[in-house]
Homo-oligomer: A and B are copies of this chain.
Amino acid sequence: MTGTLVVLTIAGSDPSGGAGIQADLKTFASHGCYGASVITALTAQNTTGVKGIHPCPPQFVEQQINSVLDDLDVRAMKTGMLHDAEIIKAVVDSLKGLCSSSKLPPLVCDPVCVSTSGHTLLQEDALKTMITDLFPLSTLITPNKSEGELLLSRMGVNLKIENLDTMLAATETLLSSGCQAVLLKGGHITARMKDVVSVQERFPDLKVIKQGLLGENMEILLDSSQHSSFDDPELVVDILLESEKRTTLFVHPRVDSSCTHGTGCTLSSAIASELAKGSSLVNAVKAAESYTHLGIQCATPIGKGHGPLNHLHNIRLSLIPRRTSSNPYPFTQMLIESAATSWKEYVEHDFVRQLGKGTLDRSRFVHFIKQDYLYLKYYARAYGLLAAKSSSFGSIQSSTQTILNILHEIGNHKMFCLTFGITEEDLEKTPESPATTAYGAYILDTGLQGDTTKLIMALIACLLGYGEVGLWLKKQSNVESTWVVLEGNPYKHWIEEYSGEMYQEAVRMGLETIESCAVADPPSEARLNEWKAVWERCTKLEKGFWDMAMELR
């Protein structure tokens, strides 16, 4: 991932890594975003609770924010634990000072008040400052039930949030605080599908997004699955109210898990990440809800209390280093290194060395070029198979062009053979050696068994290996006191062909092809291992081909 979209969190630190800026940074990373983080307060906490809080001086919060916003192009922000009114004022002042309100990046305000374990994370007297000063700058606020009730009471409304109807009423009042949207989280409220349906019937404009639930025409997925539409599962409903009264319900099955530490931090960070990518608010919330719920489902308990959700459930390691200008062929290099021994035995074979010296026995070379003629028939057919397996005219064209090139090469091959006294008739009458059959048939078999990429992997070792041999011999011939002799070497023509510009141009196209394959369709470990196995097999079959020539088999 490129990781250049900057998302900023302004929140507390959780050293145990499950909540606070730690959860935020993990969430940003697993959305491919670049995380920046201003710390409002240090906590000493773990999965069992908050042990201590050390707030940061408000001026230093301001200094941190300024250092980030002065330098980086922040695309979205979130706030978490803000601790007290002075810190909230410092945040508001620096945001207002640095960005004129119209240019302020989207801000998701998670009005963290009390930890799950019951520890006060926001001084009571700070609530009012948050409502009057911070909410008007916020694209979205994301209170849960108890935060919602606290905020409402400060807004002069005494409402217990207990069901979907009171949730709907609460979002309306909260929206009147001046924020642009409210996401009221219903994790502490039990709802059933009939409640959702009832709300839907009374408010037809309201949109319902079901996630993690099976939809229609999925009877086959029901049987062994826990969320059965017959069983009337407990649901978690989060309600999003945007201005102009657009209401969206996000409906999930309740996941039975103790790994919920940091859920609120994670959800708001995921929303901010999606907003940074340019998603609409509804789509941002939808993706973030899905990420967060899967994080809970995929968590492995850590620690003695409420473990954190799994922030990394949606990422995996890529196996091939990225192509860069200073490293243009990382995949080919990986292939060569993965089978270094057999690659070396192939490209520095005795046959090649004797050929370079000009001492190679003529009968061995003759045996080689005869068998090479027979091999090239397989090789041309394999490109026919590649054309047959193609999905686009472009790839049909390039496979066909390669066949034409091979046929042209065959013409040269025949003329070259004549200089060794071998006629076309001799070539056609030559019995095929087992080494030739093994290599040729292996390529065709690989092509019949796998997809086009696997076939290309089987074709490439021959192209690249002869290019390597050509360049290696050529390079040696340029060194003083070399063993490679070009003048008077009966095989000079052969060496010059494979080190020549025309063949090397084909090598570069081959390199480009396999590197592009690896970029366009980055392999899983299983597939990469398959590709490596094909590569290694072919280097061994190439060595076998030269063994055959040396032993006149």
Q: Which residues of B contact A303 (CB under 8 A)?
A: 71-72
Q: Which residues of B contact A297 (CB under 8 A)?
A: 322, 324, 326-327
**Number of identical protomers:** 2
Contact of A15 among B36, B329, B347 (CB under 8 A): B36
A residues 330-348 near B (Cβ < 8 Å) are 332-333, 336-337, 340, 343-344, 347-348
A residues 66-111 near B (Cβ < 8 Å) are 66-68, 70-73
Contact of A71 among B70, B73, B226, B305 (CB under 8 A): B305
Given contacts A255-B326, A337-B215, A524-B522, contact A64 B42 (CB under 8 A): yes
- Give A60's nearest chain B residue, CB to CB: B54
CB distance from A485 to the nearest CB of B (A): 19
The CA-CA distance from A32 to B310 in the complex, in Å, is 11
A residues 344-378 near B (Cβ < 8 Å) are 344, 347-348
**Can you list 9 A-B contacts with CB-CB less than 8 angstroms, sorted by A residue number?**
A15-B65, A26-B35, A44-B60, A46-B70, A71-B305, A215-B337, A219-B472, A220-B468, A294-B321
Q: Which residues of B contact A475 (CB under 8 A)?
A: 219
Contact of A37 among B17, B34, B508 (CB under 8 A): B17
User: Is A302 in contact with B4, judged by CB distance below 8 angstroms?
Assistant: yes
Interface of A is mostly: mixed
- Total interface residues on A, CB under 8 Å, equals 122
- Give A512's nearest chain B residue, CB to CB: B224
Q: Which of A117-125, A173-181, A198-206, A445-453 contacts B (4 or more CB under 8 A)?
A: A445-453
A residues 205-242 near B (Cβ < 8 Å) are 212, 214-227
Listed in ascending order, the chain A residues whose CB lies under 8 Å from chain B are 1-4, 6, 13, 15-17, 22, 25-26, 29-30, 32, 34-39, 42, 44-48, 51-52, 54, 56-57, 60, 63-68, 70-73, 212, 214-227, 253, 255, 290, 294, 297-298, 300, 302-305, 308, 310-318, 321-322, 324-329, 332-333, 336-337, 340, 343-344, 347-348, 388-389, 391, 448-452, 454, 464, 467-468, 471-472, 475, 504, 507-508, 511, 520-524, 526-527
CB distance from A201 to the nearest CB of B (A): 21
User: Is A29 in contact with B311, judged by CB distance below 8 angstroms?
Assistant: yes
Contact of A348 among B217, B451, B467, B522 (CB under 8 A): B217
The 4 closest A-B pairs by CB, nearest first: A46-B71, A219-B471, A44-B63, A3-B312
Known: A44-B67, A388-B448; 8 extra A-B contacts, CB below 8 A, are A16-B68, A17-B34, A22-B35, A29-B311, A32-B317, A216-B344, A217-B347, A226-B326
